[in-house]
Amino acid sequence: MGKLDAKPLRSLLFTPGDQEARIAENAKSGADALFLDLEEPRTPCPEPVRVRARGLVREFLGSAPTGPGNPVYFVRVQPVASGMILRDLQAVMGPNLAGILLPKITGPADVHAADAILGCVETELGLPVGRTMLYPILETASAIRNAYEIAMASERVSYMGGAISRFGDIAGDIGFRWTRTGTETLFIRQKVLVDARAAGIRYPISGMWGGANDDLDGLRSWLTELRDIGYFGMMLGNREHVEIVNDAFTPTAADVAYWKDLDRLASAAERTDEKVVYGDANQGEGHEIHIAHVATARKLLAWATDLGVT
């Protein structure tokens, strides 16, 4: 698996690895992906809790539902610097694991190390080398600064984005105060987004909404901004929000119809050598069609096709 093979993930649902019932419930939530947490399934997290979590995640992944209508599965392992990543991987690697979330990234060296360790474990287990995706979580100022280099450090890096949280590591390291409008993190989200796209990541995923679970208006405003600036999905912690999140990152029928019209008109113009006009040319850009508009429409159609909504 590589960057170009990655499919859109609208919702990536946090799932504590030590909670068997929650794992089963989240698998049926409609989320496009689950991330099963071994790094810190709860706080405090003594090693016996993590040992139990490894066993539960391994058992779940051994028979996890896969294919259309089911999520894909990631595991958040411990940081490379902890020296424990190999122990986590040996417990959970297998054919149903799509990738790992790599926390506490500081720079490309962390990705290089994880890539090498993954290759060794894949070889040991008889899995195709390179099949396990990497999703670096950027939780420090240095990681935000080095986002492009991190994304370029391995072909396995298939997803990435601004890992925003209200009280987490990134808030502590940078020192921002969370607000409902998200102004304090807009630069972070945009900077990482541009770096990710420049590195060839097709479908960047944002960090979580930090508001109250019942503040659905705030959540929808947050989601609208994420899609407006270029994100295609979001991490979340509440399975009750999955449907709202999926809807926010799904193109509408009107969107798809417009993109198809541009594609059709451009294809016809390529045969007749005539200028392409969509509707009233007096309405400005987007109506007198140029090749860049068509290229964008075709990329967005590919996104819709990957989601199965064309």
State the pLDDT at residue 262.
Answer: 87
Tell me the whole-structure pTM to 2 decimals.
Answer: 0.93
User: pLDDT grade, residue 284 (50/70/90)?
Assistant: low
- Which two structure tokens, joined as six digits, stand for 60? 């779940």
Considering the domain architecture, whether residues 178 and 128 belong to the same structural domain is answered as yes
pLDDT higher than threshold 90 for residue 97: yes
- DSSP three-state, residue 17: coil
Considering the domain architecture, whether residues 45 and 172 belong to the same structural domain is answered as yes
The single residue listed with the structure tokens 């139990």 is 52
Domain boundary among 224, 248, 272: 248
Considering the domain architecture, whether residues 231 and 258 belong to the same structural domain is answered as no
- DSSP three-state, residue 157: strand
Considering the domain architecture, whether residues 266 and 152 belong to the same structural domain is answered as no
Average pLDDT over residues 44-57: 94
Average pLDDT over residues 250-271: 89
- Bridge-based pairing state of the strands 276-277 and 288-289: antiparallel
Considering the domain architecture, whether residues 225 and 257 belong to the same structural domain is answered as no
User: What CATH number did the domain enclosing 192 receive?
Assistant: 3.20.20.60
Which of 163-167, 206-210, 240-244 is modeled with the greatest confidence?
240-244
- Which two structure tokens, joined as six digits, stand for 264? 């059709």
| Residue 31 structural domain | 3-248
Residues whose CB is less than 8 angstroms from the CB of residue 148 and which lie 6 or more positions away in sequence, other chains included: 195, 198, 199
Domain boundary among 226, 248, 270: 248
Q: In angstroms, what CA-CA distances link 5 with 11, 48, 158, 306? A: 18, 37, 8, 11
pLDDT higher than threshold 90 for residue 268: no
State the pLDDT at residue 147.
Answer: 97
Quote the number of domains for the chain: 2
State the pLDDT at residue 157.
Answer: 98
State the pLDDT at residue 165.
Answer: 80
Considering the domain architecture, whether residues 45 and 145 belong to the same structural domain is answered as yes
* Side-chain-side CA neighbours of residue 161 (13 Å): 25
Considering the domain architecture, whether residues 17 and 125 belong to the same structural domain is answered as yes
State the pLDDT at residue 231.
Answer: 98
Considering the domain architecture, whether residues 244 and 262 belong to the same structural domain is answered as no
Considering the domain architecture, whether residues 31 and 79 belong to the same structural domain is answered as yes
Average pLDDT over residues 72-89: 96
Considering the domain architecture, whether residues 86 and 189 belong to the same structural domain is answered as yes
State the pLDDT at residue 213.
Answer: 95
Mean pLDDT for all residues in the chain = 93
State the pLDDT at residue 265.
Answer: 84
pLDDT higher than threshold 70 for residue 181: yes
Q: What are phi and psi of 136, to 5 degrees?
A: -70, 135
Considering the domain architecture, whether residues 239 and 90 belong to the same structural domain is answered as yes
